[in-house]
Amino acid sequence: MFLQSRTIARMLSAVGKWARNGATLSIPAIALNEEESMVPDFINACFLFTAAICCIFSIVKISKDKTIKGVSILQILHLWAWTTWGVFFYAYYQIYLSFWCSLILTITETIWVAQIFYYRERNIPPWRPT
């Protein structure tokens, strides 16, 4: 069972206390047992790992084509920065399965970003006056 009824009751009680406190912005910590805390970590790690696999497909495609078409570098850099931050975030909060999957995703995205810059520079046509 993902969350037991007493855990849901603890969560609702904590949210109720938080709402009654008024203008406080800190959400109280909810103590989950080890089994309950592993489920969200596992789900998040699955998303990160599948993103890394999709990134590997992009790396292979760029390696075959030797060209970049239809890829926004700003979007890729934003996602790269986000997953790089995730490595530090998951390590700080000791979310280890997500940490390792985020590290794998960061490495694959770093390779992808390097390929994008490398092939983008090689495929820019020379400037010609009109």
Question: What DSSP assignment string belongs to 77-94?
Answer: HHHHHHHHHHHHHHHHTT
Domains and CATH numbers, the chain: 1-31 (no CATH), 35-122 (1.20.1280.290)
Residue 57: pLDDT band (50, 70, 90) is: very high
27/30 Cα distance (integer angstroms): 9
- Mapped onto helix, strand or coil, the DSSP state of residue 1 is coil
Return the top range by mean pLDDT from 25-29, 90-94, 107-111: 107-111
pTM above the 0.95 mark? no
**Residue 81, pLDDT above cutoff 50:** yes
3: region left, alpha or beta (phi > 0 left; psi from -120 to 50 alpha): beta
Return the top range by mean pLDDT from 7-11, 71-75, 102-106, 123-127: 102-106
DSSP H helical segments within the chain, as ranges?
5-20, 34-65, 73-92, 96-122
C-alpha distance across the termini of the chain, in Å: 69
**Residue 119, pLDDT above cutoff 50:** yes
The residue that leads in pLDDT, 8 or 121, is 121
User: 39 CB contacts (<8 Å, ≥6 apart)?
Assistant: 2, 3
68/122 Cα distance (integer angstroms): 10
What is the pLDDT at residue 23?
44
